[in-house]
Structure 1
Amino acid sequence: SSARAWAHIVDPLTYITIASTGAFLLAFVVIALVRRRFALAAAAVCVVSVANVTTQLFKAYWPTQPHWWSNSLPSGHSTVAMSIATAALIVAPVGARRWLLPFAGFGVTFVGAGTLVGHWHRPADVIAAFLLTTFLAAIALGVVQRVQHGRHPRDTSYAVRPVLSLAGSIGVGLIFVALGVRPLDHDVSLVLAFVSLVSIAVTAALTLAWISAAADDAVG
């Protein structure tokens, strides 16, 4: 990508810090406490903390071979983005979750795809971060459901959720194209770059849609 596109996409990623992550998480915990949903507050804290600690441990201790490969999986920035989006969906009221999806899809896709544009990560690193967080979200929601001793009727708008989250992801693609994102490395074809970015966008959209629906179904 051009230097201009690189700067506009990568610079916002530098604001993903421990402090900003903590600030978002604190806000979500306050929302859950105001709603008197203490189990949801605990679930949000657990998902964000465990996902990010696990990511850092995995990156630090997964075996590498300097002459053959170096481990960059999962992507730390992508884990932060997905875990924060997941926490927001967990603590949100039932009627609000689906309307958060376009914003969640946009934010998560922007961060995940941005790490590719910045040459920080491979597509597998980003997708692994998304799936790790989704797995932890499933566990957290299952535990909360058991604590609450019941299931909740799923919102009939379930079918539209992937469309809503994908709309946010598509918005990222349009912005990237408008900024002039193109593969400048001769070893990377335009088709390969397109497939990589689309795979990240679709994975983000589908996992967020599932988390939103599962939260409605499991915790109300």
Structure 2
Amino acid sequence: MWTPVGQRVDGYWLGSLAEPGSFARELLGFSGDPVVLGALLVGVVLVAVVRGRFRDALSAAGVVVGTVVAARLLKVLLPRPEFDLVGATAHNSFPSGHVAAVAGLVVALLLVVPRGARWWCVAPGVVAVVLVAASTVLAGWHRPSDALGAVLVAGAVGRLAAGARSPL
């Protein structure tokens, strides 16, 4: 995103390939719905509460909220340089808020489930994040680097939360 070559490669995929009513657009509508995201967050928090892990419940909520807030702040704080590439847009879409929210939920879930159950949550979580990330690219909303950046933000916030709740 910071070099002409990088923007060319990244921008190659920035075109709306998803038709209205397509799976990609439907998934984005679902994954961006605040009611759905809120219900999923409540479910994650309830897992921790049922396990008697109240600090984990707070950590999980903090991961989701922190990831979404960090993604929004990064859009403002990291301007996208303009290199006057043909067909390129300087619109800063980094990182994807949809992907950040879903990735944050997956990371939060991994913080609250028992250690032995984490592998059962990783695979469907990765599938969910990949589907939402691919949908944002197919719909022309984001570049691949926007989706990857959102995943990295969720991972970083999750690591901070995990480090704050227990010693390294």
CA distance in structure 2 between the partners assigned to 1:140 and 1:46 by the alignment: 8
CA distance in structure 2 between the partners assigned to 1:2 and 1:43 by the alignment: 36
> Which residue of the partner structure matches residue 34 of structure 1?
50
Unaligned runs of 5+ in 1: 147-217
From the superposition, tell whether residues 2 and 79 of structure 1 become closer, same or farther in structure 2 (CA, over 3 Å): closer
Structure 2 length normalisation: TM-score?
0.79
> Which residue of the partner structure matches residue 9 of structure 1?
24
Residue 67 of structure 1 and its aligned partner are, at CA, apart by 8.4
Residue 92 of structure 1 and its aligned partner are, at CA, apart by 0.8
Count of residue pairs brought into register by the alignment: 146
CA distance in structure 1 between the partners assigned to 2:108 and 2:71 by the alignment: 17
Q: Does 1:52 align with 2:73?
A: no
CA distance in structure 1 between the partners assigned to 2:18 and 2:111 by the alignment: 38
> Which residue of the partner structure matches residue 96 of structure 1?
117
Task: Give secondary structure in 2 for the equivalent of 1:3.
Answer: coil
- Map 1:197-216 → 2, pairs under 5 A: none
Percentage of matched positions with identical amino acids: 31
Over the aligned positions, Cα root-mean-square deviation in angstroms equals 2.0
Residue 130 of structure 1 and its aligned partner are, at CA, apart by 0.5
Unaligned runs of 5+ in 2: 1-16, 85-89
Residue 59 of structure 1 and its aligned partner are, at CA, apart by 1.8
> Which residue of the partner structure matches residue 117 of structure 1?
138
Q: Does 1:86 align with 2:107?
A: yes
Residue identity in the other structure for 1:7: S
Residue 58 of structure 1 and its aligned partner are, at CA, apart by 2.1
Residue identity in the other structure for 1:123: P
Structure 1 length normalisation: TM-score?
0.61
Residue 66 of structure 1 and its aligned partner are, at CA, apart by 7.4
Residue identity in the other structure for 2:110: L
From the superposition, tell whether residues 96 and 14 of structure 1 become closer, same or farther in structure 2 (CA, over 3 Å): same
> Which residue of the partner structure matches residue 18 of structure 1?
34
Residue 23 of structure 1 and its aligned partner are, at CA, apart by 0.9
Residue 118 of structure 1 and its aligned partner are, at CA, apart by 0.6
CA distance in structure 2 between the partners assigned to 1:110 and 1:100 by the alignment: 15
Residue identity in the other structure for 1:89: L
Residue 103 of structure 1 and its aligned partner are, at CA, apart by 0.7
Residue identity in the other structure for 1:131: L
RCO higher in 1 or 2 (8 Å CA, sep ≥ 6)? 2
Does the CA-based 8 Å contact 2:71-2:100 persist in structure 1?
A: yes
> Which residue of the partner structure matches residue 141 of structure 1?
162
Question: Cα deviation per residue 1:37-91 (whole Å; 9 max; x = unaligned)?
Answer: 1111111011100110111122245435678512100001110110011111111
CA distance in structure 1 between the partners assigned to 2:18 and 2:154 by the alignment: 32
Residue identity in the other structure for 1:36: G
Residue identity in the other structure for 1:33: V
CA distance in structure 2 between the partners assigned to 1:130 and 1:2 by the alignment: 22
Does the CA-based 8 Å contact 2:64-2:101 persist in structure 1?
A: yes
Residue 28 of structure 1 and its aligned partner are, at CA, apart by 1.0
